[in-house]
Amino acid sequence: MQNNDQWSEELDLLASIIQKAPLQKSIKWGAEVFTFEGKNVVSYGGFKNYFTVWFFNGVFLEDRYQVLVNAQEGKTKSLRQWRFNAIDEIDEKKILEYILEAIEIEKKGLKIKPDKFAPVTVPQLLESEFKKDKILKAAFENLTPGKQKEYNIFISEAKQEATKIKRVEKIIPMIMNGIGLNDAYKK
């Protein structure tokens, strides 16, 4: 993401701008994340069709220049991205304005309350595996409700039946080992 050769000059410029703010740089999820008093404020990265700076609590930003987008409407609640397609679109003054406002948001402690936990129905394919293998079912039931939900969503979100089957095959060993789908990213 931040090593994206396609946008290397643009990402270097974004990094240099962000580093002018009173933030601490850390590495999270394999990327540079800039924090204020331990709270994630801003990061940046390059993707196939654009490069971006994102604000972890961007939903609270005034967005006076109307540049922020929700990357995954319906899923992403708080994070907002400012996307760019060319280096000349980068405006250091405006980016620093947004960063300083984001720091103020962290100082105020503004947060979106998480949705109440709602269990997700076990997909039929996984339910069929449980009927064949009681040990697998017991291992799944020993997982936390959050880990169970991650697996259920992972299977349910696949559109094609073949993909659902591959996903079930992939997760069975993980379930048997008590590993959550996203544990590798939660270090």
Q: For the chain, what are the domain ranges?
A: 5-108, 124-185
Q: Which CATH architecture has domain 5-108?
A: Alpha-Beta Complex (3.90)
Write the pLDDT tens digit of every residue in 109-130. 999 987 777 778 999 999 999 9
Q: What phi-psi label fits residue 109: left (phi over 0), alpha (psi between -120 and 50 degrees) or beta?
A: left
Query: Per the confidence metrics, is the pTM higher than 0.85?
Result: no
Give the span between the Cα atoms of 4 and 184, in whole angstroms: 22
pLDDT in tens, 56-92: 999 999 999 999 999 888 888 999 999 999 999 999 9
